[in-house]
Every structure is written in C-alpha cells, then in structure tokens.
Chains A and B, each alone.
Chain A
Amino acid sequence: MVPLSWYLIFSAALFSIGLFGALSRRNLVAILLGIELMLNSVNVNLVAFWRYGDVTNITGQVFTIIVFAVAAAEVAVGLALVISVYRKRNTVIADEIDMLKF
C-alpha cells in the first residue's frame, strides 16, 4: 500500500511547480496554466485524505467536485479576459499590460 505521505509530497511538488509557473511566466495564458496545476494538486490532497480517512465520509470527494466547478468558472472568465485584452491592446504579455484605463 502506498503511504499517505507520498501523495502529500507529490501534491506539494505539483503545487510548487504551478506556483513557479504562475509567478514566472510572461504570457497570461501560461499564468492560467500554472493556476490550473495548483488547483489540481489541491484535488489530489483532498482525494488522498478521503481515501486514508473514513471512506464512508464522502466530504473529500464532494469538495473536489466543488473545486472542479470553481476551476471551470475561473478558467472561463480568465480566458475571456485574456481574449478581451488581446482585442484591445494586441498583446498577452503581462508586463506590457500596465495601464489602469485604456
């Protein structure tokens, strides 16, 4: 049986990689990719705690479903904003979008 700590270390590594992507990428779409990685690592944690705790208590899986819905909402709004910014400013580089009002 795989120990619980392996899942937790795996999800910590996935979270850190996503954090690096969200902090260091220049392209707005790539920043959103990093955020997706972080949300996924949280899901791994929730499901691992459900499996290694009381399996009849389904809360961990319910929370994962909620995180799925939030991730879908986040990515839809985020990409709509990116496309809207690209139409107006013709760029998706985060450094170049530095005006508060256009």
Chain B
Amino acid sequence: MTIDKIIFLIVAAVTLIAALRVVTTGNLIHAAFWLIATLFGVAVIFAVLHASFLAVVQVVVYIGAIAILFIFAVMLTRKDMRDQGPQLNRNWGFGALLAALAFVGLALLVHGWSGVTKTASAFPSGFDAVSALGNALVSPDAYVLPFEVASVLLVAALVGAVYVAYNRK
C-alpha cells in the first residue's frame, strides 16, 4: 500500500460519505454544504490525477458559483429554515434498488473489461498539460467550435434563466 493509494482511499471515502449525506440529510441547507464537501473531494481527485487546471476550475466554478447558487435557491424557496415532513418520496425504495442495480452493473462492467489493469504512464518530458489544454481549446484543428458553442449555450441559458425567474410586477 503506497502513499498515493492511501491518499486516494481517504479522499474517496470522505467524498462518498459526503455524497450520501447530500441525498439523505433532512435539512436542505446541510445538503448544500455536504455538496460543497463532495465537490471539494472531487477537486482533490482531479489534483491526484495531475489535472491541475481542472482542480482549480472545480473549486472556482462548482464550489464558488454553483454551490452558492444552490444555497441561494434553497433560501429563496421557503418561508422558514426548518424542513417539514419526509424528504424522500413514497417510492424511494425503488430509487434505492435502481441505484444499487446501476452500481452493480457498472462495477461488473469495469470488472469484466480487460483495459482496467492499465497503469498510468509518466508525463513526457517538457509536456505541459495546462498549455496543451489551452491550445486545444482555441486551435481550429482541435476544439474551437465545441468551445464556442458551449459559450453560446451558457449565454443563452443564463439569459433564459433571467427571463424565467424575472418577477413581472
């Protein structure tokens, strides 16, 4: 058991426990805070995988923007902070069964795949993943079109969100 395996196991356990608390906790504000813990765990996983730029983007975009948006949405859609009644619907048993089946199916798929024993190769000398990513996002030979389409999608979605949530009074 090497040190990176121990780090991965601790981070994965904390992330999964936080994710379980997101879907089971009765208090929605607490669920949003547990979501922040989960997202931070995923950012650490990105850092372990040497995707440094994505780890930073995960913290800035997900924790800094999306999680805060969730907290505001929770506060805007209630009169008092306490949650009344059950937080799970009547068919939550079927939901749990389906989730368990999905996990078992995916685990069997991973188990039966031959490429799963692959080990990570070392980075080539002089290779900078961040500059390669930046070049790929603006190069016409690579992904400039999906990148621009994604930005148009984001602008359209945000304009639509303002229109939908606008209070006409």
Contacts and interface: CB of A to CB of B under 8 A. Distances in A.
Q: Dominant SS at the B interface?
A: helix
B43 to A, nearest CB: 10
Given A61-B129, A75-B69, A10 B158 contact: no
B89 A33 contact: no
A52 B42 contact: no
A23 B4 contact: no
B150 A19 contact: no
Contact of B162 (A10, A40, A80): A80
B74 interface: yes
Contacts, number: 253
B28 A48 contact: no
Contacts of B42: 14, 40, 43-44
A76 interface: yes
Contacts of B151: 69
A58 B32 CA distance: 32
Interface residues of B, number: 92
A5 B147 CA distance: 30
Contact of B110 (A5, A19, A34, A79): A5
A22 to B, nearest CB: 8
A33 B23 contact: yes
A38 to B, nearest CB: 10
Given A14-B38, A25-B23, A65-B150, 10 more contacts: A3-B117, A12-B103, A12-B110, A23-B91, A24-B91, A47-B51, A61-B54, A69-B154, A80-B165, A95-B89
